[in-house]
Amino acid sequence: MPDPSGLPSLASLAARVAESLRERGESVAIVESSAGGLVSAALLAIPGASAYFVGGAVVYTRKAAKGLLGLTADDVIGMRAETEPYANLIAGKIRERLRASWGLCESGAAGPSGSGYGDSPGHVCIAVAGPNSRSRTIETGLSNRPANMDIFARQLLALFDEALHEAN
């Protein structure tokens, strides 16, 4: 699905990231929300994924965050999901929990309606935790759920690719 950013396909981005991780001998762990596992699936579709993919989770509710990540109320004081501080926290949490070189997170509202937090459909915050951490907020302006899911996944892999290449 094309998007206004002109990013490559999910498969192309995953192949590029996988190659970088293999070359560097590094690993990644991922927490997805509104992308629904597309980032993990794209990375796992690359042959030899066990060399770099530690694990991932779709954390769609607070109950899942507590159960899968051990997230406590104290961890999120003063923040809410679908923000860069939250995405940074979760990316760092999965990196630490699975002892990966890198941790990735996306948290957003895929649509067709906005989120319970008041964010419009097409809003996502993405984060990369590792030797070269970063985060970004994306607004697609779309209410098309499958299109947003694909864009969110590609945006996260593109941000990770940037971090990997700047860390060299």
pLDDT digits (tens, 9 = 90+) for 30-43: 999 999 999 999 99
**Model pTM score:** 0.95
| Pairwise pLDDT comparison (167 vs 138), residue with the higher score | 138
Question: Strands 102-109 and 123-129: what pairing?
Answer: antiparallel
pLDDT of residue 6: 87
Mean pLDDT of the chain: 94
* Phi, psi for 60 (deg, rounded to 5): -100, -15
Architecture of the domain spanning 10-48+59-166: Alpha-Beta Complex (3.90)
